[in-house]
Amino acid sequence: MKNWFQIGIVSLLVAVSYPVSAGEVIGFVNSTKSSHMVIPNTKLRALIAEFLDPAATGIGQSLGYLVWRETLTAISDQAKAGVILARAPEGKNLTELIGDRYHLAATEIANFQKAAMILWGAVIENPDGELVINTHLTLLPTELASGDLILRFTAGDNSNAGLQTAISRSKFNFATVTRSRKDLFDRRLVSRRVANLRAAPSREAEKITQIPPGTVIQSLDMQGAWFKVVLRDGREAYIENSLVDVPPRQIDVSKTEINVRVGPGTDHQVIATRDVIGTFEVLNMTYREGQGLWYEVDLEGEPVWIYAALTRPRYSLPAVHFLAGLYRYYASRFKDASSEFTQFLTSGVEGRNVNLAAGYQLLGASQVMGKQAYELDENIVNIFSKAVELTPYDPAAYNLRALANIAVNNNLDLAIKDLKVSAELDSMSDTAALLVNDLNNVVNQRTPGNRFLLQKLRPDSDQKLVINNIAKSFSR
């Protein structure tokens, strides 16, 4: 089998001027040559492939760069995380270069780079001038990420005991979204260092001016790897994406009695302590050592700074939130994962029930994994029930809700009901069989480490018999 790539390092980017995550650009080239790994010091990697652009307008390359940069911003505080962008060689159209081998080529690159995730897609411009975007995500097994997303519940202090099941889907085809170029590229940027602004999207083009680090500039559009910006005096110019941080266009805030400040940090004066609820355009973004990440927004006509941890960024495509949620989940940062999957589900996604169901499954799993047992409540079971409603044919949805009912309600009867349905849908499922067999061992006191879980469930003889029979149905 041919290798459809050759690594060509174009630029190295460490995200948002503060980060512990890293990004790098490599090239799609039809070649039998192999090459070396990039960002080798990262443990968890995703590959973002330049989007196919059948009309060869250049928007596929720009969208790939934007999604790559937004993903880097989303995970910029996550240690040992990296994002790789694979793009077509200069002057080449990816559709013509590799055509229907696109996903195969991206998968080969991702496997070579030991990436756990691939985000890829296609974009076309409709007659109304709007961009129609299809996005896909594939999970790959690596040393850190098995390919399965595990939900595990333990009771007591024995972390090796307990019950677990998995969200075993590995391919996600997200609903088509429509965006204008303004939706994507009309945004604030912040220079990362001294940067030259040029008359055209080329390093050889005339230099119009130079700006210092931390300068906010207004982007109008994007051409390839370059943002088209407007200066305060009205002149237009271009700046390479590696020279700027790319904040989210908007943030959602729903907090009561938070401090809004005159500057980015707790050492700046508090303007007011008040409720902040709504969606706000980001005017500026900065990170300060020891102070974290801060956003500047317009609050009722007054510019104020808000601590980023109190907000939920909103990125250009729902798939960016889903991908960021997976980064967080794999890293056991479940609160952050929950926030990203919430953003995915509230970003206007529709259709494709399997992907919505996966979003609810991952949101529920993030909340179970991110809370102490005493913090779990019925809302978590309701999240898994939404996944069941969307995909009543998916055994994994019932396995997850069964485990949620055990974790939240200590309710064996409801768990047994779901496990029966799961067994009827797929009696060959290894994941379901493992969950049922582990539960059978718990209720029959075959695993001493699970005595706390046994005390929570207090199974009666009828429940033990039913669970044993379900276990047998998987072993046939």
**Pair (273, 171) in one structural domain:** no
**Pair (159, 56) in one structural domain:** yes
Considering the domain boundaries, does residue 51 fall inside one?
yes
- The domain of 339 spans 318-475
**Phi and psi for 272 in degrees, rounded to 5?**
-165, 160
Mean pLDDT of 413-434: 91
- pLDDT for residue 456 is more than 90: no
β partners of residue 314: 250
**Pair (353, 470) in one structural domain:** yes
Please answer whether residues 79 and 20 qualify as being in contact, where contact means their C-beta atoms are separated by less than 8 angstroms. yes
pLDDT tier, 302 (very low <50, low <70, confident <90, very high otherwise): very high
**What does the alpha-carbon distance between residue 436 and residue 151 come to, in Å, rounded to a whole number?**
14
Considering the domain boundaries, does residue 230 fall inside one?
no
Q: Which residue has the higher pLDDT, 388 or 13?
A: 388
**Pair (284, 323) in one structural domain:** no
pLDDT, one tens digit per residue, over 15-35 is 344 444 577 777 665 433 445
Three-state helix/strand/coil letters over 293-325: EEEEEEECCEEEEEEHHHCEEECCCHHHHHHHH
Please answer whether residues 390 and 353 qualify as being in contact, where contact means their C-beta atoms are separated by less than 8 angstroms. yes
Please name the helix (run of DSSP H) or strand (run of DSSP E) that holds residue 274, with its range, or none.
strand 270-288
Give the chain's mean pLDDT. Answer: 86
| All residues at 6 or more sequence positions from 100 whose CB lies less than 8 Å from its CB, including other chains | none
Q: How many whole angstroms from its chain centre is CA 20?
A: 17
Task: Record the tokens describing residue 323, joined without a space.
Answer: 């991908």
Which CATH number does the domain housing residue 451 bear? 1.25.40.10
**Pair (167, 266) in one structural domain:** no
β partners of residue 152: 164
Mean pLDDT of 146-160: 67
**Pair (309, 414) in one structural domain:** no
Report how many domains make up the chain: 3
Of 161, 180, 199, the residue at which a domain comes to its end is: 180
Of 299, 314, 329, the residue at which a domain comes to its end is: 314
| pLDDT the model gives residue 5 | 38
**What does the alpha-carbon distance between residue 27 and residue 200 come to, in Å, rounded to a whole number?**
23
| pLDDT the model gives residue 143 | 61
**How does DSSP classify residue 4?**
B
| pLDDT the model gives residue 4 | 41
**Pair (424, 359) in one structural domain:** yes
**Pair (168, 67) in one structural domain:** yes
Q: Give ∠ CA 27-33-37 in degrees, rounded to 5.
A: 60
**Pair (391, 420) in one structural domain:** yes
Considering the domain boundaries, does residue 1 fall inside one?
no
**Pair (418, 465) in one structural domain:** yes
Looking up tokens 């303004």 gives 182
Considering the domain boundaries, does residue 132 fall inside one?
yes
Mean pLDDT of 368-376: 77
Residues in the chain: 476
pLDDT tier, 127 (very low <50, low <70, confident <90, very high otherwise): confident
Considering the domain boundaries, does residue 86 fall inside one?
yes
- pLDDT for residue 71 is more than 80: yes
E-strand ranges in 63-113 read 81-87
**Pair (94, 134) in one structural domain:** yes
Please answer whether residues 360 and 366 qualify as being in contact, where contact means their C-beta atoms are separated by less than 8 angstroms. no
**What does the alpha-carbon distance between residue 373 and residue 285 come to, in Å, rounded to a whole number?**
36
β partners of residue 179: 131
- pLDDT for residue 98 is more than 80: no
Which CATH number does the domain housing residue 260 bear? 2.30.30
Looking up tokens 């469930």 gives 457
- CB count within 10 Å of CB 370 equals 17
Looking up tokens 């002149």 gives 235
- CB count within 10 Å of CB 218 equals 13
Considering the domain boundaries, does residue 286 fall inside one?
yes
Considering the domain boundaries, does residue 199 fall inside one?
no
Considering the domain boundaries, does residue 271 fall inside one?
yes
Handedness of CA 5, 116, 65, 11 (dihedral sign): negative
| pLDDT the model gives residue 30 | 44
pLDDT tier, 240 (very low <50, low <70, confident <90, very high otherwise): very high
Which CATH number does the domain housing residue 32 bear? 3.40.50
pLDDT, one tens digit per residue, over 271-292 is 999 999 999 999 999 999 889 8
**Pair (309, 325) in one structural domain:** no
Of 261, 279, 314, the residue at which a domain comes to its end is: 314
Mean pLDDT of 412-417: 92
